[in-house]
Structure 1
Amino acid sequence: MTRPSPHPPEVPRAPFWMRRPRALEISTPFVITAALAVGAATLPFHGHPVGGIVGLLVSAAGVVAGYCIPLAGLVLLAAAPLVTGALGADPVVQWQVSMFGAFLLALRGLSGLLTGLVVGAADFLALGLSAGSFGLTDPVAYIAGASALAAAAAGSAIRGQRQYWSALQQTTREAVAGRDAAVQRSVAEERLRIARDLHDTLGHEIAVLGMHLGAAEVRLPAGADASRGHLEAARGSVKSLLAETQEILQVLRSERDEDATSPAASHTGLPDLVEDLRAAGMDVRARVGDLSRELPPQVSAAVYRIAQEALTNAQRHGTGPIRLTVDVTGSAVEVEVANAVGDATEGGGRGLVGMRERASAAGGRLEVSTDGGRFRVRAVLPVAEGALR
């Protein structure tokens, strides 16, 4: 087994304000709640409390809806200051809530341009109508529109930076893991070459030497007991040397041969794998196709090993239930493992590299994606040789 480099290259670290990616998503709703509370507390001092109450309720509904249906949340946040102004109340609080809401929506994945334009236009018009000028001569209306655009742009920029650093770190981990895997393969190949050379040359010469010593012992004349004793001792030493050479060969070949004594992995073992993981406490929700279909040995082993590694990674780095789908359709086998994304962890990336290598060796491909907070690993492997090419 090769040892890792004593000074491995560090994974690029994001700026300190990007190291807690969910901090803004958690803190912004508290700011919005505080703004709503202040607006509710000041309602008795306004001339149109009913309009203020309706506007606050619409704003609150927009924030809540934004977590489930972002576009609906966007519409409600934009409508809140307009409704408030139409009912005769001052829409300042609703404008502030819509500004923070625009930031939150863009941060969570909604288009920053769309969010900024919709909320900015609504705030501009609401503040302008409240001043009786349609916003054309009211500097507060311009400030309201510009602040909504800036908030949405900031949320979109932070989301982009977060995705950039996440992709950069993941790429670096995979590059380092790929390099280490290449080094390990080179070392393993060199060990096997040395083992073959020892077996083909040194082992052969030791065996021939033993044969010569045996022949010399047989041809000794009578009375050469001392020489016979020396030859017997030499033959014993040769046997010991041959045994030690075999042990060295076993050690040199151990990294490759250690899997030779274990049963070959097969896709038909997936149900047992799922049951073992469930017994260990994992929430695996499996949907597999017809596993009785015979597959090429390399594809069958790749299906099992990829599913095994993907399930292990999902349990280690993800949260919630894990969905496993195995489908044999036509000319390809599809293996997909999906789980909710957990907190960022310092993973080595070797699992993904190994799965890609297994898929490639079997003539298939591996796809890795993150969408809507879910992490997916999908392997497509050909049933017939050359089916995917």
Structure 2
Amino acid sequence: MTPLERSNVPPRSWMRGGRTLYLVTGGAISAAIIAEAIRVGSERPVPLGGALAVVLLAVGSVMSLRFPHIGLLIASCAALTAGVFGWEPLVEWSCAVFLLFAVTLRRGRPILMAVSTAIPVLIGTLSSRELGDPIATTIGVVISIGAGAGIAFGLRSQTQYRFALEQRAEDAVATREVEAQRRVAEERLRIARDLHDVVGHEVAVVSMNIGVAEVVLPEDATQAREALRNARTGIRNVLNETQRILELLRTAEDHPGSAPTPGLTLIPDLIESYRQIGLRVDADLRVDVDAEVSGSVGVTLYRVLQETLTNAHRYGRGSATVSCWSSPGRVHLEVRNAPHDDRRQSGSGLGLIGLRERISQAGGTVTIDGNSVVFVVSVELPTTDGLPT
């Protein structure tokens, strides 16, 4: 899930790039409230409208730290109160615009914030006779409020965009090595399957023909029979060497600089790699990988888990639950995650199509079920597939 999907939550980069501006705005509002309080206190008698406006400004500014919309509305009503009671609401109007800027910078929603600020400020300024021409006053209110909300939202959008780029770069760095290992391992696995299916078949045909030749040879063909026995020995050596190559391609334990083929033994490392890029994963792994699951089935489970965790990271709320267990002749994998609230934030579905195809080729079954609360992928595979491990 990218930061742009969380439009109502201030991103972490805002704390780095916008905190100074936010604090400066807060300082300006505080200074204006203090100056207004001094001006009201210097009047004799103390004007009721001015006193109430100062109180509303102070209360609204403090409340905006915890409840931005409510606090902004209260501070905006300070201008309304001042104007209705005959006090010049120029400071209250200015403070409302500054507070609108700060709240929009922090929370977004510029239209909602601007409208909730404009209505009481406009009524208060038009009620006051101290601000001159009503048309000019109205234009000034609209322009100032629109500028405050628009500039804040523009800065916020720029910050979110920059944060999204930073997050994508971090994700790319974190997953680059995993992706490179995946490509190398898939190529090794393809070569191993070709050796097993093609070379193994051809060697078996040659061995069978040698056996036929031995049967039909005359009894006195001693030299020819000895040559066939030597050929059969060579065939066995080829089979042994091929088997060792297959084992090397599938494990790479004795090959310096090459990553092992993905499997159940590497699933904890895979889960940890997603934790490092921000996905919270609760894992329950209860499978005896050495005794129960063949190498190719382990590869399939690894790829399925990789795809589901990628989807949970991109399109979920930042957490997932992984369960893996075995039953007689079968191995099971279940991944649960909470989908994002915004239904528009979803993928193309091609990853799930590829996941179904991979599981079908391995002789397994998959169930994908989701609603607004939880998205579940349940996989069941046979523990062996007949390929050498």
TM-score by length of 1: 0.52
Runs of at least 5 residues in structure 1 that lack an aligned partner in the other structure: 1-17, 263-272, 278-300, 327-332, 340-351, 368-375, 384-389
Secondary structure (helix, strand or coil) at the match of 1:132 reads coil
Where does 1:94-133 land on structure 2 (aligned, <5 Å)? Answer: 94-109=92-107, 111-132=109-130
Q: Once the two structures are aligned, what percentage of the paired residues are identical?
A: 29
Q: For residues 42 and 133 of structure 1, what CA distance do their matches in structure 2 show?
A: 17
Where does 1:309-328 land on structure 2 (aligned, <5 Å)? Answer: 309=309
User: Which of residues 366, 371, 379 is equivalent to 2:375?
Assistant: 379
Secondary structure (helix, strand or coil) at the match of 2:53 reads helix
Indicate if the aligned counterparts of 2:100 and 2:113 stay in contact, CA closer than 8 A: yes
Q: Tell me the alpha carbon deviations over residues 77-99 of structure 1, each in whole angstroms, 9 at most, x when there is no partner.
A: 21012223445544333222211
Where does 1:1-389 land on structure 2 (aligned, <5 Å)? Answer: 20-22=13-15, 23-24=17-18, 27-41=21-35, 43-45=37-39, 46-47=42-43, 48=46, 52=50, 54-87=52-85, 89-109=87-107, 111-132=109-130, 135-136=133-134, 139=136, 142-160=139-157, 194-209=191-206, 236-253=233-250, 258-259=263-264, 274=282, 309=309, 335-337=336-338, 357=352, 361=356, 362-364=366-368, 378-380=374-376
2:198 partner letter: T
1:364 partner letter: I
Distance 1:89 1:213, change over 3 A: same
Q: For residues 105 and 339 of structure 2, what CA distance do their matches in structure 1 show?
A: 24
1:244 positional shift? 2.0
Q: Tell me the alpha carbon deviations over residues 202-222 of structure 1, each in whole angstroms, 9 at most, x when there is no partner.
A: 223334555677888997969
2:263 partner letter: E
1:256 positional shift? 7.2
Q: For residues 334 and 312 of structure 1, what CA distance do their matches in structure 2 show?
A: 9
Secondary structure (helix, strand or coil) at the match of 1:364 reads strand
2:241 partner letter: E
Distance 1:118 1:192, change over 3 A: closer
Q: Tell me the alpha carbon deviations over residues 48-76 of structure 1, each in whole angstroms, 9 at most, x when there is no partner.
A: 47755543332232234335444422321
Indicate if the aligned counterparts of 2:26 and 2:102 stay in contact, CA closer than 8 A: no
Q: Tell me the alpha carbon deviations over residues 33-58 of structure 1, each in whole angstroms, 9 at most, x when there is no partner.
A: 33323431464345347755543332
1:151 positional shift? 1.0
Q: Tell me the alpha carbon deviations over residues 278-311 of structure 1, each in whole angstroms, 9 at most, x when there is no partner.
A: xxxxxxxxxxxxxxxxxxxxxxx89x95999489
Runs of at least 5 residues in structure 2 that lack an aligned partner in the other structure: 1-10, 252-259, 268-280, 286-300, 324-333, 341-346, 357-365, 380-389
1:242 partner letter: L
The RMSD of aligned alpha carbons is 5.9
Secondary structure (helix, strand or coil) at the match of 1:126 reads helix
**Count of residue correspondences:** 298
TM-score by length of 2: 0.52
Indicate if the aligned counterparts of 2:282 and 2:321 stay in contact, CA closer than 8 A: no
Q: For residues 99 and 36 of structure 1, what CA distance do their matches in structure 2 show?
A: 13
Distance 1:274 1:39, change over 3 A: closer
Indicate if the aligned counterparts of 2:126 and 2:138 stay in contact, CA closer than 8 A: yes
